[in-house]
Chain A
C-alpha cells in the first residue's frame, strides 16, 4: 500500500515527527520501505497515539499499514477522518 495522495501533507509530517521521536531512521522518500521491526511499530503506534490524543485500534495495526511513511500517513488520515 503506497498511500499515494490519500494522506494530507500534515499527516506525513506528523508521521515523520513520530519516527524522529522514537529514534527511527527516516527513509529517502515517503513511499520507500520504513524497514522498522515489530517493537518499533509498537513504539510508533504509541507515539502517534500521544500526538493524536486517541487510541489506535488494534485491528488497524497491521504491518502493511506501516510499510512506508505514506502508508502510515494514510492510516493517520483515516483516523482523523473518523474523528471529524
Chain B
C-alpha cells in the first residue's frame, strides 16, 4: 500500500446528517424479515438503524452534512473549491449526486464529482480532498452519503437487517501545524472481490427490465457472507498495520480507533487481532447499522462532537468494503477542530 503523507492538510470541521426515522429490529420483524429481533442482535450487534423518508435522496443527506460542516468552520458555500461525494447509492445513475448537492448548496462554479468505493468511500474521498488541498485547491468538501435502504431485499437473511442511511463528512483545508492534521492516508483495492457484495442490475452489464425488478436484481447481494466478514476485518487490519508501519507507530500508540461499522462482531474481532481494547473504538453500529461509505465519517464526527477525540489525540480511521476496497488514515486532532466540532 502506498501511503500519502500530506503536509499541512487538516480537517477544518465535520458535519453529519441522519434521517429522522429510526427503524428498530422489532419494526423490521414486523415488516416480515426472516430474522427475529434478538437474532439480528446476536448476528450483528445491530439494534436499530435510520432509514430515509420516501422523498429524501442521497444528495439531500450529503447537502445537509455539508451545510453543518460549513457552518462549523464559518465558511461560505461560494468559497468551497471542490465537492466530493462518496456514494454507491446516488440519486440517479447520472448525473452525480455531487452535482445535485452542489445545486442545493450553491457552490458557484466549484467542480463536483462522486467517488465510488462502497464502505471505504469516506477515506477515498478524504484522500482525494487531501491531494487537492496539497496542490493548492482549498477548502474541499469530502462527504460520504448513502441510502442503502432503497436497495434491500427484505427477504434476504444475509443483508436485510444490516444497512442504514446517513451522511457525514469533512471540510478539508490547509494550515496544519507539524505533526497535526492528516498525517498519513493509504488506500487499497482488490478486484477479486468485485462480486462479493454487489447490486447486479441497473447498470450497463444488466440493464433494468421488468425481469430484473421481478427477480430483485436491484437489491444488494452478498452470497459469501462469512468471507466478506473476514475480508472486512482483514482489510482494516492490514491497511491499518501498513499505515502504522509507514509512520513508525504501533497500534498501542493510537488513542482512538474510528472504524467503518459493518457489524459489531467485526469490530470485536478487529479489536482482538489489533490488540486494542474496544473502549478505544468509536462504536455506533448498534444504533445506526452499516451506513456504508458514511459509517466511518459518522464515527469521526461522533468522536469529535462528543468530546471522545481530544486535542493531540492520534486517531486511526479504518475502512473496508465491497470491491474489495480498504483504507486507513492517521489523524492528529488540533484545538481548532475540537472547537469547531462543538460550535454548531
CB distance B43 to A62 under 8 Å?
Answer: no
CB distance B230 to A61 under 8 Å?
Answer: yes
* A62 to B196 Cα, complex, angstroms: 11
Interface size class of B (residues with CB under 8 A): 10 to 19
- Given A38-B158, A39-B42, A39-B43, residue A58 in contact with residue B225 (CB < 8 A): no
Contact with B along A47-80 (1 / 0, CB 8 A): 0000000011111011100100000000000000
* A46 to B43 Cα, complex, angstroms: 15
CB distance A42 to B229 under 8 Å?
Answer: yes
CB distance B226 to A63 under 8 Å?
Answer: yes
- Mark out the residues of chain B between 26 and 73 whose CB falls within 8 Å of any chain A CB in the assembled complex: 42-43
CB distance from A4 to the nearest CB of B (A): 23
Say yes or no: is A45 at the interface (Cβ < 8 Å to chain B).
yes
* A62 to B230 Cα, complex, angstroms: 10
CB distance B234 to A45 under 8 Å?
Answer: no
Say yes or no: is A41 at the interface (Cβ < 8 Å to chain B).
yes
Nearest opposing residue in chain A for B43, CB measure:
A39
Q: How many residues of chain A are within 8 Å of chain B by beta carbon?
A: 15
Nearest opposing residue in chain A for B44, CB measure:
A39
In the bound complex, residues from chain B placing their C-beta under 8 Å from that of A56 are: 230
Say yes or no: is B209 at the interface (Cβ < 8 Å to chain A).
no
In the bound complex, residues from chain A placing their C-beta under 8 Å from that of B158 are: 38
- Given A38-B158, A39-B42, A39-B43, residue A61 in contact with residue B226 (CB < 8 A): yes
Selected from A39, A46, A55, A59, the residue in CB contact (under 8 A) with B227 is A59
Selected from B192, B223, B230, B273, the residue in CB contact (under 8 A) with A42 is B230
* 21 pairs of residues in contact across A and B, judged by CB atoms under 8 Å: A38-B158, A38-B225, A42-B226, A42-B265, A45-B226, A45-B230, A55-B273, A56-B230, A58-B227, A58-B231, A58-B233, A58-B234, A59-B231, A61-B224, A61-B226, A61-B227, A61-B229, A61-B230, A62-B224, A63-B223, A66-B226
